[in-house]
Structures are given as C-alpha cells and as structure tokens.
A and B are shown apart, each in its own frame.
Chain A
C-alpha cells in the first residue's frame, strides 16, 4: 500500500512568516500533486510535479519533488491570511487510484 504522510498536521503562524510543509512516502510515485482546500469547498489543484528533483514556483509557493520521487515539499514565503487552508498532497498508486496524505491545516494570522 502506497501511503503519503504529511507534516506538520497543524501550523499556525503570523502573516509574513515563511513555512514548509512536507509530504513523505516509502514508495516511489510517478507524480505528486498538491491541493489547497478551503472550508466547505473541494480541493483545488495547485501543482503537479513529475520529474525527480523538479522545482515549480507559483508566486510565493515553491514546490519540490524529491530526487527519488518519494517525497515532496511545499514552501510558502511571506505567508498571507489568504494562504489559510488545508494543504493536501496526492499521488496515483499502483492501481491508478489517487492516494491522499492526511493534510496540513495552515492558519495565517494577520
């Protein structure tokens, strides 16, 4: 079973701080996706990383895929209250079913 573990589970920071969220597995994934979900809504895809070592940037968000394609990280620079939400990583398992990590719930206080 391919599992994805996210850390930390909860993060509460002040506006302007930097943070990093991790997504780890003991299994190799062909790709990993990062989503953000706000209360009462479905997850929204932020990025897909495919190549080991790949780095993608989305404004203040930087996503990295580990060289061995077993882990990924999301770094947010100068966090803003609008970044508040549940961040989820997900990847296709051997059966082409999407496996999700447990999520990191981020709160950015003004």
Chain B
C-alpha cells in the first residue's frame, strides 16, 4: 500500500469549510483513497473513499487530483463535533479483507 503524507495539525473556524490535504505521490492505479477519522480515542470512523473521480456523501467531499498524487477532504461546514484526527489511507482495491495502515493523521481543531 502506498504511503501518505498529511500535515500534523490544522485549525478551522466553526461554520467554515475545513480542507484537509493528503499527498500520496506513489499511489498505484489500483489503489483507492480512504479517509477515516478518530474522535478522542473512539473507534475510527469511515468517512469517504474514491478512486479517481470526486466523491461526495452526507459527511464530506473528496477531491482527487487528475494525476491522483494528492487529494483533499472537505468538510463543508465544520462544527465543534468535527474536531478529530483525520487519516488518509490508500489501499489496493482488490485487497478485499486487507488491513488499514494508519499514519499519524491530521489533528483538526474546530474553534468557535
């Protein structure tokens, strides 16, 4: 699985969009980009994933660059409850039951 690079921390004002970057310059063609978050020692929570097209769900949007070497997770209207550590993970698509390899992630602090 490809390695990812994320900033260790970010701040965001409540109500504003939070844009969390991730670099995965060695990603392979069959690897998906996954985002999880962990709120204060709770179990990690799945947010969104994508291959090459931009994706949106009720939690967030995922923007993947055309060369797939980086991506951005967007929380459109951040709330205090979005304060968490956000993990960007790339995984081989065919590795159906494969492990998740967590890095240090980005600690997002949403401030009033």
Q: Do A and B bind each other?
A: no
